[in-house]
C-alpha cells in the first residue's frame, strides 16, 4: 500500500496508546476487530487506512521497536528509530516475556 506519513503513524500510535486498545491487543491474536476499530478511529482524523494496513504497520513498528530495544539492551547505540520514545511509552512497560508471548 501507499507509504505511511509521519502524521499517519503519529495518529496510529496515539490510538494504540489508548489503554483500552492495548489491553485488547495484549489479550488476543485474532485481532481483526480491534484493527477495524483502529481504522475507524483513524478515519476520524481524516486518515484512510484499512484494518490490514493498520495491523501491518502495528506489527512492523513493534518489530522495529523490539530490535532497537534489544540492541540498546546489549549496549549498542547505533540503532534507532523515529518513534522509539512514543513506542517505549507503550511497550516499555511490558517485559520481553510478555511481548514474546503475545506473538505466539
Looking at the domain assignment, is residue 13 inside a domain? yes
Position 104 confidence tier, pLDDT thresholds 50, 70, 90: very low
Give pTM, 2 decimals: 0.81
Q: Is 98 helix (H, G, I), strand (E, B) or coil?
A: helix
Looking at the domain assignment, is residue 30 inside a domain? yes
Looking at the domain assignment, is residue 66 inside a domain? yes
Distance CA 55, CA 36 (A): 9
Position 28 confidence tier, pLDDT thresholds 50, 70, 90: confident
Distance CA 97, CA 12 (A): 24
Mean pLDDT to the nearest integer, 53-59? 96
Domain count, the chain: 1
* Cell numbers placing 53: 494496513
Is the separation of the CB atoms in 11 and 38 below 8 Å?
no
Looking at the domain assignment, is residue 100 inside a domain? no
Show the domain range for 67: 6-94
Mean pLDDT to the nearest integer, 5-10? 96
Say if residue 2's pLDDT is above 60.
Answer: yes
Amino acid at each position: 500500500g501507499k507509504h505511511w506519513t509521519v502524521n499517519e503513524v503519529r495518529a496510529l500510535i496515539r490510538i494504540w496508546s489508548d489503554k483500552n486498545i492495548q489491553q485488547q491487543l495484549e489479550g488476543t491474536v485474532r485481532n481483526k476487530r480491534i484493527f477495524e476499530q483502529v481504522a475507524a478511529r483513524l478515519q476520524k482524523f481524516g486518515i484512510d487506512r484499512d484494518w490490514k494496513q493498520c495491523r501491518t504497520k502495528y506489527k512492523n513498528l513493534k518489530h522495529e521497536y523490539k530490535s532497537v530495544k534489544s540492541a540498546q539492551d546489549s549496549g549498542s547505540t547505533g540503532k534507532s528509530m523515529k518513534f522509539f520514545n512514543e513506542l517505549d511509552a507503550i511497550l516499555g512497560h511490558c517485559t520481553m516475556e510478555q511481548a514474546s508471548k503475545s506473538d505466539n
